[in-house]
Structure 1
């Protein structure tokens, strides 16, 4: 099959663990050089070493809290400073906060969830999308959640942010098209670090609601990410790809 992303440069936020880590490794295996961004630099550095050893691709670790616009600018400057271009941006960083009831969600909690899941992807996409458009090509992939369409009582701010992210996808596709394609992967329940905090029985309950009878594993995201990052999806933009095992 070859390496569909040979010579390309990909930036992945929230890239040091979970779904982000899986996408970083898949992109590198497909021939892309990678920029690995997350809040913890040591974790990014560790994965960057693995990428170099396992794939031979260049990997740049960058500490970045995407909820901070200034840090978004530092990340973009670092990527272009090191590689001279960005061909793929995957806005994967996300977070939700637990709360006992909606009336006890503080302004700081709400702002933090919106900043990480929506404000950061907006700023990064604006900075990188404009440069992609000027260069004549690029792909932006936003990682959303089934919460955007099926909000749970204990994740309402997160669901609202992810719904906004999906709206952002469509707006960006029209803003930066035809040169830049912008798409969403709407993820279902995945067995990542977050799943360790699930209450007993939730894993089985979620699995029962899927046509495939199981929750996702990190490797399940690789094919979808490569499809949207590469020319295999040349006529796909402004779209939302459900990666949820047939959840209902």
Structure 2
């Protein structure tokens, strides 16, 4: 091991869902540490704006891409394109995800169910399969999946999402064995983070619930960064197939 410091100089990093929220904070951190970063989401304009702002702030190259992660063929094309554009990929962060609301479990439509599974499980699998194989051929790399505490403690209001993220956990373990020893595959399991989505919450109700957390608050988006950097770095050289929970000590 050459250093105890995080150094991603000239490393090629791909982050889905990288234009806002947790993904944007990850992109900022990698960029500040010298990486060449690609961010992708379904809204190209948002990625273009975020990439321009990060490039101006950090001085590192940030590339914007449009990608519907739930679309199998788009994932196939994106994996080929981003590998070619960047001259390889060292780290893939499967961050894109969503948990839509629904009125009742029986009222969940097939369209909603398929969308949730596609975005949170199918797409990350496809990107990991394609880029993971290329990383093995190139001699190494790391994949970091962003799961959710809902995968470990499912609730009635998160049935499709919990199922998808539980599947992502299983995929993480399986791919760690498939692509080891040269490519490490791990997952971060976040709890409640106060991103732009949290603006629509009942804040009084959340503040009461947060008192049951060991940290007694929700997480700030930048507080996910340390876990992701660790799993993506050489400091985690003996960490693979792991689920790293970052939830402020939330109860079950």
TM tier relative to shorter chain: over 0.9
Counterparts of residues 91-102 of structure 1 (less than 5 Å):
91-102=94-105
Match of 1:22 among 5, 22, 25: 25
Q: Distance in 1 between matches of 2:224 and 2:48?
A: 22
TM-score, normalising length from structure 1? 0.97
Q: 1:206 to 1:78 in 2, by over 3 A?
A: farther
Q: What residue ranges of structure 2 are gaps of 5+ in the alignment?
A: none
Q: After TM superposition, what 4+ stretches of structure 1 lie above 3 angstroms from structure 2?
A: none
Match of 1:241 among 231, 240, 244: 244
Match in the other structure for 1:88? 91
TM-score, normalising length from structure 2? 0.95
Counterparts of residues 134-213 of structure 1 (less than 5 Å):
134-213=137-216
Shift of 1:152: 1.5
Match in the other structure for 1:107? 110
Shift of 1:207: 1.3
Q: Would you say the 8 A contact 2:6–2:233 is kept in 1? A: no
Q: Secondary structure at the match of 1:121?
A: helix
Match in the other structure for 1:53? 56
Counterparts of residues 214-233 of structure 1 (less than 5 Å):
214-233=217-236
Q: Distance in 1 between matches of 2:161 and 2:194?
A: 18
Q: What residue ranges of structure 1 are gaps of 5+ in the alignment?
A: none
Q: Distance in 1 between matches of 2:171 and 2:208?
A: 31
Q: Distance in 1 between matches of 2:193 and 2:209?
A: 10
Shift of 1:196: 1.7
When the two chains are superposed, the root-mean-square deviation of aligned CA atoms in Å is 1.2
Aligned length: 248
Q: Would you say the 8 A contact 1:148–1:159 is kept in 2? A: yes
Q: Secondary structure at the match of 2:221?
A: coil
Q: Distance in 2 between matches of 1:158 and 1:178?
A: 30
Q: Would you say the 8 A contact 2:215–2:248 is kept in 1? A: yes
Q: 1:206 to 1:133 in 2, by over 3 A?
A: farther
Shift of 1:226: 0.7
